[in-house]
């Protein structure tokens, strides 16, 4: 029976790694053990297909190549996208690097050096003159070593397949990656290291003008002034990165979340105790709320699935939102530990009023239900 299957790089890598590790065991199991205990299995079509793949040397070579692509091209950006902290200001650069890494694997280096993403998109993937020779194609050392044991005609076919795979990936990334999205590109101004970059002020105003529902024309003038103040502000390095020394005396730099950095910036006050930035926080906070991927949404679905068990399948949306809000509050205020959540007067008052709010909500639902029944009854009479 055919069924729809979505294959993800982030999932397929560990699976292939395990297959390679167990390769000899798989050969022993399918080609020796199963035929010994079940004589009829040799007539099974599925077993025949597995046998054919296990007997071919090119199968293992292909697996090594796919594992190489996963580890050295897709693993890092896909893991990066799973983070919870705001990363929207880095998304354009990360997508550009992913696209560049694919091209580096099969396109000649002189066509890629010092080129912008826009220039990379103009490169023809189908022109053989733009492609690297077989000896320089990125397939990984293990793959190349395994390839030496294959016949010449199979080597040629394998390299041709590698080129087709890279071309297909490059075309798909050209279609799906937001590397031509100017809005996303301009969001890079929020990076701490872009504070004094000459293009940051221009990018800021372009973004602000693209969001007329957020800032009025009058606010744009204030925004421009506040950015100039920000440019001249002396920002401590520890606001956005932490330098430590590892055991080998090598310096390790750890970057703080971008929202933590801007929290420090927005806390800056003038000598009279007034907040120095008023309009800028409104824009930055709105931009940082933009999601850099689907990971947060997928985690939300997973959390909802964990909440709605068989004995709680009739939970309303309001109840689910309440449970999620409570769980997030415990995580935020108590580091995930209920007994460490600070008990304040406001929290106690909210708990006391919870039942009365519940009663009001139930009365509202009953009133809506009666109004609906009355309308339906009147419609039947007419």
Residue 261 confidence (pLDDT): 94
What residues contact residue 65 under an 8 Å CB cut-off, 6+ apart?
Answer: 139, 140, 143, 162
Output the pTM of the full model.
Answer: 0.79
Residue 154 confidence (pLDDT): 93
Distance (Å, rounded) from C-alpha 47 to C-alpha 57? 18
Q: Collapse the DSSP code of 269 into the 3-class scheme (helix H, G, I; strand E, B; otherwise coil) and give the result.
A: strand
Q: Count CB-CB contacts under 10 A for residue 159.
A: 16
Distance (Å, rounded) from C-alpha 58 to C-alpha 150? 7
Ordered per-residue pLDDT tens for the chain, 382 residues: 344 445 566 678 899 999 999 999 999 999 999 999 998 999 999 999 999 999 999 999 999 999 999 999 999 998 898 888 899 999 999 999 999 999 999 999 999 999 999 999 999 998 999 999 999 999 999 999 999 989 999 999 999 999 999 999 999 999 999 999 999 999 999 999 999 999 999 999 999 999 988 988 889 999 999 999 999 999 998 998 887 776 666 777 788 899 999 999 999 999 898 999 999 999 999 999 998 888 877 788 888 888 777 777 677 777 788 888 888 888 888 888 888 888 888 888 888 888 888 888 889 989 999 999 988 888 887 7
Q: How far is CA 102 from the centre of its chain?
A: 18
Closest to 205 (Cα-Cα) out of 178, 181, 228: 228
Residue 2 confidence (pLDDT): 41
Residue 360 confidence (pLDDT): 87
* Helical H segments across the chain, by residue range: 9-21, 23-28, 34-37, 45-55, 57-69, 75-81, 91-106, 117-121, 141-147, 152-176, 182-186, 200-209, 217-231, 258-266, 279-288, 295-307, 317-334, 345-381
């Amino acid at each position: 029976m055919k069924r729809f299957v979505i294959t993800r790089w982030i999932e397929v890598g560990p699976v292939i790694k395990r297959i390679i590790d167990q390769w000899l065991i798989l050969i022993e199991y399918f080609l020796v053990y199963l035929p010994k205990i079940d004589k009829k299995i040799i007539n099974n079509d599925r077993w025949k297909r597995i046998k054919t793949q296990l007997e071919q040397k090119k199968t293992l070579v292909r697996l090594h190549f796919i594992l190489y692509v996963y580890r050295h091209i897709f693993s890092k950006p896909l893991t990066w996208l799973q983070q919870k902290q705001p990363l929207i200001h880095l998304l354009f650069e990360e997508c550009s690097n992913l696209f560049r890494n694919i091209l580096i694997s099969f396109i000649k280096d002189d066509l890629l050096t010092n080129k912008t993403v826009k220039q990379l998109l103009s490169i023809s993937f189908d022109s053989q003159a733009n492609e690297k020779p077989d000896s320089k194609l990125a397939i990984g050392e293990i793959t190349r070593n395994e390839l030496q044991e294959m016949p010449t005609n199979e080597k040629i076919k394998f390299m041709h397949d590698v080129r087709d795979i890279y071309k297909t990936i490059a075309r798909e990334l050209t279609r799906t990656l937001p590397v031509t999205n100017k809005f996303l590109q301009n969001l890079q101004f929020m990076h701490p290291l872009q504070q004094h970059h000459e293009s940051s002020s221009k990018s800021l105003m372009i973004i602000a003008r693209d969001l007329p529902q957020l800032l009025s024309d009058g606010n744009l003038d204030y925004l421009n002034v506040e950015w100039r103040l920000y440019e001249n502000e002396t920002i401590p390095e520890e606001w956005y990165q932490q330098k430590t020394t590892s055991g080998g005396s090598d310096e390790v730099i750890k970057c703080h979340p971008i929202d933590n950095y801007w929290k420090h910036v927005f806390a800056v006050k003038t000598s009279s105790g007034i907040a120095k930035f008023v309009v800028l926080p409104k824009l930055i906070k709105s931009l940082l709320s933009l999601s850099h991927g689907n990971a947060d949404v997928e985690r939300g679905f997973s959390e909802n699935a964990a909440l709605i068990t068989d004995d709680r399948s009739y939970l309303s949306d309001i109840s689910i939102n309440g449970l999620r809000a409570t769980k997030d509050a415990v995580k935020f205020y108590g580091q995930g530990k209920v007994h460490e959540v600070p008990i304040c007067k406001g929290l106690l008052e909210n708990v006391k009023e919870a039942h009365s709010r519940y009663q009001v909500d139930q009365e509202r639902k009953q009133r809506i239900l009666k109004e609906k029944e009355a309308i339906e009854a009147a419609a039947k009479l007419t």
